[in-house]
Amino acid sequence: MPMHADAFKDLLASLDESTAAPEVVAEFRRIVETVGARHGLVAPLQGQRIEFARTLLDGRRPRAEIRDRLMHRFSIGESQAYRDIASALQIVPKPC
């Protein structure tokens, strides 16, 4: 059964409202994106990269680890990963 674009977008949007731990949300988002990709659905990557970096920053992960995870997950270079981290640092974290 094919995944519909609306369902894909709803799942991703719902993750923004989740109260689960940031690492759990990030992992679930990765799973949803992987399944979506199998069905030909791709979410906007730059926003995803920055949101992913912000989630890891909120989880107090070291920047070197965030860089490595961005590079691996999104197949980007080191410079792009650091630009995404810098952009994520401009976002005010959600209150706990």
38-86 confidence digits (pLDDT tens): 777 766 677 889 999 999 999 999 999 999 999 988 878 898 899 999 9
Q: Tell me if 45 sits within 8 A of 24, measured CB to CB.
A: no
Model pTM score: 0.55
Q: Which of 60, 61, 47, 62 minimizes the C-alpha distance to 15?
A: 47
**pLDDT above 90 (res 30):** no
For 24, phi and psi rounded to 5 degrees? Answer: -70, -45
The token pair at 8 is 């894909």
Q: Which of 20, 96, 85, 84 minimizes the C-alpha distance to 57?
A: 85
